[in-house]
Chain A
Amino acid sequence: MKLYDYVLSSDCYKVRLLAGCLGIELQTIPVNVFPGEEHRSPEFLAVSPLGKIPVLSDGGVVLQDAHAILVYLAKRQGDAGAAWYPDADAASCAAVQQWLTFATELDGTIGAARQHSMLGKPLDVDRARSGAREQITALDDHLTDREFDGSAWIVGNSPTIADVAVFAQVAVAGDGAIDLTPYKAVGRWLKTMVSVPGFSPMPGISAIR
């Protein structure tokens, strides 16, 4: 399986993280997104017409979206991946989808603030950070509720691709100068994620250990 990858991308990290937890070995092909903007080059557009990373290529399957790839990896592993994508149960499957959408929305706030803080991309950064804080507050409330239910996870009683997708955005919020210390349940959840067997970090998140 080939992953077109960029080391500083949260979306690429989602895939590396889940693959590690599932014990899937990926052949990573580094794409020079910054500073080279290779994802807009004709060569890359031939691989991925959407011009997005990550891209997963597995035999004849080519997927150009991080969350689609997460679903694919979990389903592909059969029983071993079933807990990561609990689609047998209608409510759990829908809840995972809801939190995947939440993770996508974090890209417009935390992700944008990171791009601004690290790479100087123009942005109304105060607005992005305040949007991020509202979202992280909502996540913190949700995780607190889950703790009352006896679970450490966003959906169900074990980690799912929803945890992976949200974690990859929230854990690097510090890169965008968004302070996570006020969010206690989020802090506990981050630490629990780090202890999942097969966990791998990305630059920006080792401080939570």
Chain B
Amino acid sequence: MCDDQFTRSYWYAVARIEDLPEGRPRATKLLDVDIDLLRTQGQATATTRPSDGQAIHLPTKEQYGHVWTTLSESPRDLYAMPEFEEPGRRLVTAGAITVSCSGLRVVENFLDMAHFPFVHTGILGEEPHTDVAAYDVELREDVDEVWATKCEFYQPKAAAAAEGGQLTRYMYRVAQPFSTVLYKTCPIREGAWDLIGLFIQPKTQTECDVHSFVLVFDDSNSDNALLQFQQMIFMQDRMILENQVPSLLPLDPRLELPTRADASSIAYRRWLKAHGQTYGVLPQA
């Protein structure tokens, strides 16, 4: 049972839209609650499946290629990504990959550029280009989001469409405790950002389904090539995530390392702590 009101106040992606066709129900879990998903008369429905008591119909919405639901009666608005409306972009959704760790760990790993040369060797980074240059981190109070901007990293193959190495510019956005989006220099369109995002569905405190998407300008790669690139990168991360100890995220400030590379991680943890995040968090000793 999740009594963390901050966590409960958000919408969560629970399936890709095309994975919930008419007449093919799916069983899933969100914040320790068993949920049945079904599409009837075109409408996605989500119903709790309690071991005792009455089933409850949850609100649903379909956006950003996914079916979303929430345990809150008055959820926060799902965050805006106007890029989804831009003509010429291609959306590839990679499906849910299960990871045995806190979903907060997945977000934190996503924010960490220092792991690129070691986990995504030859793709998102390579030795000796291991230094993480200074970048800006801010809490945007109007939307209650954490942003890291002016990030730069040398990448041998930054995207499926990248030809050769480049200094890639990044922005990271944490719009929800369990969701994060990367804005990254588009290799083929000047001034545009490509988006790569994770919609994390915390099933329990230590297990999550990670729904990811790629929203890019790319004239040369097939959807399947984009999909495989994304899945390859994520599976490299998964291996690291499942080996992290503890699998819950510590928020104790004494466990924070004040290095530059960790600036976004520190801001993220502080933001969670300020909101009283307990779900997926290592209890204080």
Is there a chain B Cβ closer than 8 Å to A32's Cβ? Answer: yes
**By the criterion CB–CB under 8 Å, are A120 and B98 in contact?**
yes
Determine the chain A residues whose CB is within 8 A of the CB of B209 once the complex forms.
Answer: 120
Among A30, A118, A175, contact of B227 (Cβ-Cβ < 8 Å) = A30
Is there a chain B Cβ closer than 8 Å to A35's Cβ? Answer: yes
**By the criterion CB–CB under 8 Å, are B235 and A204 in contact?**
yes
Chain A residue nearest to B222 (CB atoms) is: A30
- Contact A119 to B98, CB < 8 A, known contacts A175-B235, A206-B119: yes
Chain B 86-121 interface 0/1 with A at a Cβ cutoff of 8 Å (1 = within): 000000011111101000000000000000000101
A161-187 residues at the B interface, CB under 8 angstroms: 174-175, 177
**By the criterion CB–CB under 8 Å, are A32 and B223 in contact?**
yes
The bracket for how many chain A residues form the interface is 20 to 34
Is there a chain B Cβ closer than 8 Å to A63's Cβ? Answer: no
The smallest C-beta distance from A96 to any residue of chain B, in angstroms, reads 29
CA A177 to CA B223, docked complex, whole Å: 30
Is there a chain B Cβ closer than 8 Å to A31's Cβ? Answer: yes
Determine the chain B residues whose CB is within 8 A of the CB of A7 once the complex forms.
Answer: 228, 231-232, 235
**By the criterion CB–CB under 8 Å, are B223 and A203 in contact?**
no
Chain B residue nearest to A6 (CB atoms) is: B228
**By the criterion CB–CB under 8 Å, are A117 and B98 in contact?**
yes
CA A101 to CA B224, docked complex, whole Å: 31
**By the criterion CB–CB under 8 Å, are B100 and A30 in contact?**
no
Is there a chain A Cβ closer than 8 Å to B43's Cβ? Answer: no
B234-253 residues at the A interface, CB under 8 angstroms: 235-236, 238-239, 242-243
B1-42 residues at the A interface, CB under 8 angstroms: 16, 19
**By the criterion CB–CB under 8 Å, are A35 and B222 in contact?**
no
The smallest C-beta distance from B98 to any residue of chain A, in angstroms, reads 5
**By the criterion CB–CB under 8 Å, are A35 and B93 in contact?**
yes
Determine the chain A residues whose CB is within 8 A of the CB of B235 once the complex forms.
Answer: 7-8, 118, 175, 203-204
**By the criterion CB–CB under 8 Å, are B16 and A30 in contact?**
no
Determine the chain B residues whose CB is within 8 A of the CB of A119 once the complex forms.
Answer: 95-98
**By the criterion CB–CB under 8 Å, are B94 and A35 in contact?**
yes
Is there a chain A Cβ closer than 8 Å to B225's Cβ? Answer: yes
**By the criterion CB–CB under 8 Å, are B238 and A175 in contact?**
yes
Among B96, B236, B242, contact of A206 (Cβ-Cβ < 8 Å) = B236
CA A145 to CA B242, docked complex, whole Å: 33
Chain A 1-12 interface 0/1 with B at a Cβ cutoff of 8 Å (1 = within): 000011110000
CA A167 to CA B100, docked complex, whole Å: 24
Chain B residue nearest to A122 (CB atoms) is: B27
The smallest C-beta distance from A23 to any residue of chain B, in angstroms, reads 19
Among B95, B224, B227, B239, contact of A203 (Cβ-Cβ < 8 Å) = B239
Determine the chain B residues whose CB is within 8 A of the CB of A206 once the complex forms.
Answer: 119, 121, 236, 239
Interface, chain B (partner A; CB < 8 A): 16, 19, 93-98, 100, 119, 121, 209, 222-225, 227-228, 231-233, 235-236, 238-239, 242-243
Interface, chain A (partner B; CB < 8 A): 5-8, 29-32, 34-36, 38, 117-120, 174-175, 177, 203-204, 206-207
**What 14 new A-B contacts, CB under 8 Å, besides A30-B228, A120-B98?**
A5-B228, A8-B231, A8-B232, A30-B227, A32-B223, A32-B224, A36-B227, A117-B100, A119-B96, A203-B233, A203-B236, A206-B119, A206-B239, A207-B239
Complex A-B: 23 CB contacts under 8 Å: A6-B228, A7-B228, A7-B231, A7-B232, A7-B235, A29-B224, A30-B227, A30-B228, A32-B224, A32-B227, A36-B224, A119-B97, A120-B96, A175-B238, A175-B239, A177-B100, A177-B242, A203-B231, A203-B233, A203-B235, A204-B236, A206-B236, A206-B239
A-B pairs, 5 with minimum CB distance: A35-B95, A203-B235, A30-B224, A7-B228, A30-B228
